[in-house]
Each structure stands twice: as C-alpha cells, then as structure tokens.
Amino acid sequence: MVGVSVIFLRHRSDRRRQRRTVLQLMLRTPIIHPEILSSLARLGHGSLVLVTDAHFAVATSTNPRAVVVHTAIVPDTPLTPDVAGCLARTIAIESVTTMIAPTDELAAVGSQIARAVGNVTHDRVERDDFKALTRSEDLGLCVVTGDTRRFANALLRIGVTRLLSGPPGQRPERNGQREHELYGVSRSADPGAVQR
C-alpha cells in the first residue's frame, strides 16, 4: 500500500512539473499576475489602466467598477515605472497621462514612467483633471504599487494592436521584430513549430 502511494505522489509531481512547463511556454508576457491578465483581457481600445503610487486614494478616487490590484510587498516594490513598463510590453498603449508636479524633482517620476512606456503621447494634466479621469467610466483596472514617491501615478490608455498579416517573409515588422520573433514561431521546415 505504501509503495502505491509513493508511485501516485511521484506521478502527481510529474504532472505538476509538466503543467508548470506548459504555463511557462504559454505566456509570452512579463506579467504573470492572473488578476491583472484577466482584467487586461476584458478591456479594449480606449480603456484606461491606472498605475498608482502607494499614497493614491484608490477607494475614493477611482471608478468603483474598476478592478483594483494591490501589488506592493514592501515600500518601493514594485515601482510605478516598472509596472508601467511591464504593461507596455503586454498591451498596446496609445498614450500616458501623468499629473503636473509642482517641482522638477517631483516631476522626474512622470518622465521615468513615460520612458518606461515608450514612444507614445505623454500628456500632463492638473491634479483635479487627473482625478476626474481616474473616476471616469473608461477606467477598468487600477494597479497599486509600493512606490512611495509622490506623483508616481500614470493613466495608460489602451491602443490597438495591429495584426501581422501577409505572405510569409513579407509580413510587416512591429517594433523592429518580425512575426516569428514576436510569437516564437520557428523558421524551421515546420512553420507550425514553436520554439522552446
């Protein structure tokens, strides 16, 4: 009886290992947080994603229907620019909006966020206008970071992902990458093979 249990446990362990391998190969995104991925999948073109610092009054300053995800583990982990950069590598972003800060020192984090998101329109608005946007019906996801810097808040407007199409070898590039680089499609004789 004991031998059977050991074999069963080993078999379950093997299945878990195989399942873990499949999950690692399935996602091609830096974000692995299931609630964030689920929320992003429900949003569409024009929807807003709010990435906030640890000080932002989420309970009173956001659309009550938006999904709120707290990611802070300890102070300053993760930082707002890091989360915004991960989101930019996961979804198409049309624009980023940050608050106008009263000093250059406080405004530096807004510039870091804009650099992390990449080459998109960067709008700066007054605090009251920013909060009006966070309360809008367009806000679908709020990611609260551990960033303790003031004015480390950004609204990301979701853009449209252009589908790559055309005959093989003549497909357009996106961000300097061809389709096989984006989706892991092998250039081997088997066009359906996936790189591992």
Q: 40-55: per-residue pLDDT in tens?
A: 999 999 999 999 999 9
Residue 181 falls inside a structural domain: no
Residue 1 falls inside a structural domain: no
User: Whole-angstrom Cα distance, residue 163 to residue 8?
Assistant: 45
Residue 47 falls inside a structural domain: yes
Instruction: Write the CATH number for 58.
Output: 3.40.1650.10
**Count of domains for the chain:** 1
Instruction: Give the domain range for residue 62.
Output: 34-158
Whether this prediction's pTM lies above 0.75 is answered by: no
Q: Would you tell me how many other CB atoms lie within 10 Å of the CB of residue 89?
A: 15
Would you state the torsion angle of the CA atoms of residues 67, 147, 94, 127, taken in this order, to the nearest 10 degrees?
90
Residue 196 falls inside a structural domain: no
Residue 61 falls inside a structural domain: yes
Task: Report the DSSP pairing between strands 93-99 and 154-158.
Answer: antiparallel
Q: 73-131: per-residue pLDDT in tens?
A: 999 999 999 999 999 999 999 999 999 999 999 999 999 999 999 999 999 999 999 99
Q: If you search the block for the tokens 């930019």, which residue do you land on?
A: 88
Residue 123 falls inside a structural domain: yes
Residue 91 falls inside a structural domain: yes
- Reduced to 3 states (helix: H, G, I; strand: E, B; else coil), residue 174 is strand
